[in-house]
Amino acid sequence: MERKNAWTTYEGKDLEELTALAEDYKEFLSNGKTERECVKQSAALAEKAGYHNLEDLIANHTPLKSGDKVYRTWMGKAIVLFQMGKEPLEAGLNILGAHIDSPRLDLKQNPLYEDTEMVLLDTHYYGGVKKYQWVTLPMALHGVVVKKDGTKIDICIGEKEDEPVVGVTDLLIHLAGKQMEKKANIVVEGEDLNVLIGSRPLKDEDKDAVKKQMLNLLKEEYNIEEGDFLSAEIEVVPAGKARDFGLDRSMVMSYGQDDRVCAYTSLAAMLKVEAPQRTACCILVDKEEIGSVGATGMHSHFFENTVAEMLALCGDYNDLVLRRTLQNSYMLSSDVSAAFDPNYPGVMEKKNAAYFGKGLVLNKYTGARGKSGSNDANPEFIAKLRKIFDDNEIAFQTAELGKVDAGGGGTIAYIPAVYGMNVIDCGVAVLSMHAPWEITSKSDIYEVEKGYEAFLRNCR
Ligand code: MN
Ligand code: MN
């Protein structure tokens, strides 16, 4: 059961491809720090690869045929791509599904305030975070502000070299005696994650002079008024680009690799596939980190509705055909796994842990306290995948999320499984998952992209 480190199997051509993929991936990460930015980039890459916007086909009743490539975005925060197979839709789809939301600090609806002549933004954290990790870092503001007339202002401040950054301060060690005795989950409390954005007062102003100066600046530079925060979605994320990690450049360090590492590799695999037997599909969704809820999360009917639209364009829609299409599908829930960390061996069971360099990770189940809440994949499906991966020389490993009862987690896998389709979690191992800066192995990224491609082409 011992598996080779994939790095030892590479020849010159593999290393070239691996490096090219890692470069493209880092670019995607650096330009995609919110779900909206990821959707925008994904749609642009899809268009470049010959995909057409499904909305146009729906509007014009354009029939769909084998080989057609289409995509559809939803509220700017989710995207799904299809490439029509040689077989009818009813035979089922081969689906790669990943999420493009990541843990972060979201601005509250009424965020702006002044305290002791400093101006701050109040936040509510999003997803599972160790709050103490999010202080004293250079942070950037990304998102949208929607004016009452519907105009949308894109915000991205703090990423260019000459742009200022913002951030959350921490208590100096000299005065932290009491703080250091607190439990880690309250050493920095959620309500104290306030982002410092300014300290310069407006002249000849007695009250809230710093806030007034800031409001003037927001109005002049971004055309934002204080009331506009009510209809804004601004995410405070670590500032700076994705970069190589390790003196040997074997790893990538970046914000947001859970789950953009699987989202990007799913998209890359999707765009490489040509003329598949079964219809290929790649769906990138929002809101996984808070339960896959809302209109843009995996629980949304957006996906099912879009498959119904596709069937209608094939002249083949009825409720039964839709149900068959979904139940006959296979899906890789492309999400990250916890990588074995030599600093913290105690939480892992070594035979069933994921390791850097050992390739794509299959998680039969996730969950916690006796697999609770997990999609427990069928061995019949796993056998199919083993064969595909072995036939295509994909390095893969199997793992669970830590020791029994050490903790747990979930993914989107259990949601499409509701249709009666086979689903399994399958992705890249990550170190420091959910931290502001996460680490992955370039060889795992390479193996996963190849594995996803092999799945789209061969699973039946
Ligand atoms: Mn995830
Ligand atoms: Mn996560």
**Average model confidence (pLDDT) for the chain?**
97
- Segment (H or E) for 80: strand 78-83
Q: How far is the CA of 82 from the centre of ligand 1 (A)?
A: 22
Q: What tokens appear for 396 in the block?
A: 């893969």
Q: How far is the CA of 275 from the centre of ligand 2 (A)?
A: 33
Q: How far is the CA of 438 from the centre of ligand 1 (A)?
A: 12
Q: How far is the CA of 142 from the centre of ligand 1 (A)?
A: 20
Q: What is the structure's pLDDT at 1?
A: 78
Please, which residues have CB less than 5 A from ligand 2, an ion? 258
Q: Is the pLDDT of residue 452 over 90?
A: yes
Residue 437: φ, ψ to 5°: -125, 115
Confidence of residue 64 (pLDDT cuts 50, 70, 90): very high
Encode pLDDT of 169-199 as tens digits: 999 999 999 999 999 999 999 999 999 999 9
Q: What is the DSSP letter of 173?
A: G
Q: How far is the CA of 235 from the centre of ligand 2 (A)?
A: 16
Q: What tokens appear for 338 in the block?
A: 């916890």
Q: What is the structure's pLDDT at 76?
A: 98
Q: How far is the CA of 140 from the centre of ligand 1 (A)?
A: 22
Q: How far is the CA of 31 from the centre of ligand 2 (A)?
A: 20
Q: How far is the CA of 360 from the centre of ligand 2 (A)?
A: 17
Ligand nearest to the CA of 103: 2
Q: Long-range contact list for 343-346, CB < 8 A, 24+ apart?
A: 346/403
The full DSSP string for 1-32 is -----GGGG--HHHHHHHHHHHHHHHHHHHH-
The 10 Å CB-count burial string (b at 16+, else e) for 113-146 is ebeeebbbbbbeebbebebbbbbebebbbbbbbe
Encode pLDDT of 7-25 as tens digits: 999 999 999 999 999 999 9
Q: Cα(424)–Cα(439) distance, rounded to whole angstroms?
A: 23
Q: How far is the CA of 148 from the centre of ligand 1 (A)?
A: 34
Confidence of residue 5 (pLDDT cuts 50, 70, 90): very high
Place of tokens 């949601």: 415
pTM equals: 0.97
Does residue 25 contact residue 261 with C-beta atoms inside 8 Å? yes
C-alpha distances in angstroms, 38 versus 202, 223, 288, 355? 38, 24, 15, 27
Ligand nearest to the CA of 434: 2
Encode pLDDT of 249-282 as tens digits: 999 999 999 999 999 999 999 999 999 999 999 9
- Segment (H or E) for 53: strand 52-53
Ligand nearest to the CA of 102: 2
Q: How far is the CA of 256 from the centre of ligand 2 (A)?
A: 9
Q: How far is the CA of 227 from the centre of ligand 1 (A)?
A: 34
Packed helices 257-272 and 35-48: angle between N→C axes, nearest 10 degrees: 10
- Taking alpha carbons only, the member of 267, 330, 248 closest to residue 7 is 248
Q: Cα(88)–Cα(314) distance, rounded to whole angstroms?
A: 9
Domain extents for the chain? 6-102+255-458, 105-238
Encode pLDDT of 286-314 as tens digits: 999 999 999 999 999 999 999 999 999 99
Percent of the chain with pLDDT strictly greater than 90:
98
Mean pLDDT, residues 321-326:
98
Q: What is the structure's pLDDT at 2?
A: 81
Encode pLDDT of 342-359 as tens digits: 999 999 999 999 999 999
Does residue 233 contact residue 154 with C-beta atoms inside 8 Å? no
Ligand nearest to the CA of 260: 1
Percent of the chain with pLDDT strictly greater than 70:
100
Helix (H, G, I), strand (E, B) or coil at 198: strand
Q: What CATH architecture does domain 6-102+255-458 belong to?
A: 3-Layer(aba) Sandwich (3.40)
Give the list of residues 6+ apart from residue 321 with CB closer than 8 angstroms, or none: 89, 90, 311
- Taking alpha carbons only, the member of 182, 177, 166 closest to residue 132 is 182
Q: What is the structure's pLDDT at 436?
A: 98
Q: How far is the CA of 245 from the centre of ligand 2 (A)?
A: 21
Q: How far is the CA of 376 from the centre of ligand 2 (A)?
A: 19
The 10 Å CB-count burial string (b at 16+, else e) for 60-96 is eeeebeeebbbbbbbebbbbbbbbbbebbbbbbbbbb
Q: How far is the CA of 99 from the centre of ligand 1 (A)?
A: 7
Q: What is the structure's pLDDT at 53?
A: 98
Ligand nearest to the CA of 412: 1
Q: How far is the CA of 317 from the centre of ligand 2 (A)?
A: 36
Q: What tokens appear for 122 in the block?
A: 């109040």
Q: How far is the CA of 373 from the centre of ligand 1 (A)?
A: 15
Q: How far is the CA of 259 from the centre of ligand 2 (A)?
A: 7
Q: How far is the CA of 163 from the centre of ligand 1 (A)?
A: 30
Confidence of residue 3 (pLDDT cuts 50, 70, 90): confident
Encode pLDDT of 111-150 as tens digits: 999 999 999 999 999 999 999 999 999 999 999 999 999 9
Alpha helices (H) in 148-256, listed in sequence order: 177-180, 184-187, 209-222
- Taking alpha carbons only, the member of 100, 44, 5, 1 closest to residue 442 is 5
The CATH class given to the 105-238 domain equals mainly beta
Helix (H, G, I), strand (E, B) or coil at 449: helix
The amino acid at 85: G
Q: How far is the CA of 338 from the centre of ligand 2 (A)?
A: 10
Q: What is the structure's pLDDT at 52?
A: 98
Encode pLDDT of 199-223 as tens digits: 999 999 989 999 999 999 999 999 9
